[in-house]
């Protein structure tokens, strides 16, 4: 070996050493991230369920039904009306007699400004008519200060969807004023409320067309979740 070859060998050794250190660091980082996810997965899921239960109770007060909606739940699917190929859920609310008093459907507005907007819509059943009691957005990526006004903690806009008879929820009324409807839009962010109004109209059509199925199907959410976790 000549002296001129030694620096090249030293440089290669250094490169291998740095690559090995980076590989070890990456492995440790991935392992820690995975371990953290495994340890917190159950807690995160529990917190999501509690947040959803709170949202359901905001739409339909707990003292108006006697059952456990998490146990009385079915999987629903309709890409056209529910806005996604992913399975959604319907939580049934019943009186002590078992008579349905309401239902909450999860759904998606697929064409939000920055992506799909997930929400739940609650419907109340009375002797006279069915009505949409309200809507709550559960997940979105809309622009802060503009499209995020669909979040009830950021704006009162979502409350304008409260307490509408199901039979009145259809176009052209259920559009922003800019499109000839009756609802206010957001300055600089019309796409977001337009997407929500369209999705709620579609979700209501799903509810209206499938009431027998929604209330008579055997609960299956728990079974589906168990299969997905196997």
| pLDDT tens-digit series, residues 127-183 | 778 999 999 999 888 878 888 888 888 899 999 999 999 999 998 999 999 999 999
* CB-based contact 111:140 (threshold 8 Å): no
pTM of the predicted protein model:
0.77
Average confidence score pLDDT of the chain: 83
* CB-based contact 166:132 (threshold 8 Å): yes
Looking at the chain, the whole-number percentage of residues with pLDDT higher than 70 is 77
Question: What domain count does the chain have?
Answer: 2
* 123 in the same domain as 81: yes
* CB-based contact 196:109 (threshold 8 Å): yes
* 67 in the same domain as 42: no
Per the structure block, which two tokens stand in for 222?
Answer: 């728990």
Looking at the chain, the whole-number percentage of residues with pLDDT higher than 90 is 51
Domain that holds residue 2: 1-59
Residue that finishes a domain, picked among 36, 59, 82: 59
* 50 in the same domain as 79: no
* 101 in the same domain as 15: no
- pLDDT class of 10 with cuts at 50, 70, 90: low
- Whether the pLDDT of residue 229 is over 60: the answer is no
Q: Where are the beta strands (DSSP E) in 86-186?
A: 88-94, 100-109, 117-125, 130-139, 164-165
* CB-based contact 118:108 (threshold 8 Å): yes
Please give the angle made by the CA atoms of 70, 73 and 75, to the nearest 5 degrees. 130
């Amino acid at each position: 070996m000549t002296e001129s070859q030694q620096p090249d060998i030293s440089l290669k050794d250094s490169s291998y050493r740095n690559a090995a250190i980076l590989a070890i660091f990456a492995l440790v980082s991935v392992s820690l991230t995975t371990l953290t996810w495994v340890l917190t997965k159950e807690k995160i899921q529990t917190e999501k369920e509690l947040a959803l239960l709170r949202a359901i109770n905001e739409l339909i007060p707990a003292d108006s039904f006697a059952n456990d909606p998490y146990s009385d739940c079915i999987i629903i699917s309709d890409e056209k009306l529910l806005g996604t190929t992913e399975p959604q859920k319907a939580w049934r609310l019943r009186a002590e007699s078992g008579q349905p008093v309401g239902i909450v459907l999860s759904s998606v507005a697929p064409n939000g400004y920055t992506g799909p907007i997930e929400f739940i819509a609650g419907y109340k059943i009375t002797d006279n008519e069915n009505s949409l009691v309200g809507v709550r957005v559960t997940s979105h990526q809309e622009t802060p200060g503009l499209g995020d006004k669909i979040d009830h903690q950021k704006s009162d806009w979502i409350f304008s969807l409260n307490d509408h008879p199901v039979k009145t929820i259809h176009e052209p009324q259920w559009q922003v004023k800019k499109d000839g409807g009756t609802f206010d839009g957001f300055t600089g962010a019309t796409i977001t409320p337009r997407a929500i109004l369209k999705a709620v109209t579609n979700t209501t059509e799903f509810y209206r067309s499938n009431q027998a199925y929604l209330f008579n199907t055997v609960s299956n959410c728990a079974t589906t979740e168990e299969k997905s976790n196997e």
